[in-house]
Amino acid sequence: MTTLASMSAPARGMTDQLLTETVAPFTRITQDLGAGSASCRMDAGALEDAVGPACARPEAEGADIVVLNKFVLSEAQGRGFSALIAEALSRAVPVLTGLSDTHLAAFEDFAEGMARPLEPDETAILDWCRSVINLEESQAEEV
């Protein structure tokens, strides 16, 4: 079973919207630049503020799944949440991330063939999440 997945929705902001509706809690690391802006909405300060607690929480409290709104340039360069993704996968914690076409090649390099693309559909996302969480629970029961 693949425990790394990505989802890309075609409309601007749709990936964030789908993941916000599907998962809680949600920590925003983007900024609203207005409807006419085509610039990167990443808020570098919010990202840095979120990385430390996000990386510490699964280790300290455990996690059933890690969900990140997007794999972007910072992760492609080995920064941002790349350490959280790698740590989660090393502990067999499933990871779901949003993905844009811009960073698809970098994500595929990072994932090294381990990732499964999901349809940009709430049902598909929830089905995958449930399947990997149930897989983890059934494997734990076997030990």
List phi, psi (to 5°) of 124.
-65, -40
The pLDDT score that the predictor gives to residue 108 is: 92
Whether the CB-CB separation of 75 and 86 falls below 8 Å is answered with no
In sequence order, the 6+-apart residues with CB closer than 8 A to the CB of 131 are: 1
As a whole number of angstroms, the distance between CA 86 and CA 55 comes to 10
Sheet holding 4-7, edge to edge: 66-71, 95-99, 4-7, 115-118
Domain boundaries, the chain: 4-30+40-142
The pLDDT score that the predictor gives to residue 1 is: 47
Tell me the two tokens of residue 18.
């789908």
The pLDDT score that the predictor gives to residue 137 is: 52
The pLDDT score that the predictor gives to residue 107 is: 92
Q: What is the Cα 82 distance to its own chain's centre?
A: 10
The pLDDT score that the predictor gives to residue 40 is: 72
Residues in the chain predicted with pLDDT less than 70, given as ranges, are: 1-27, 41, 54-61, 135-143
Q: Which of 92, 94, 95, 68 is nearest to 81 (CA)?
A: 68
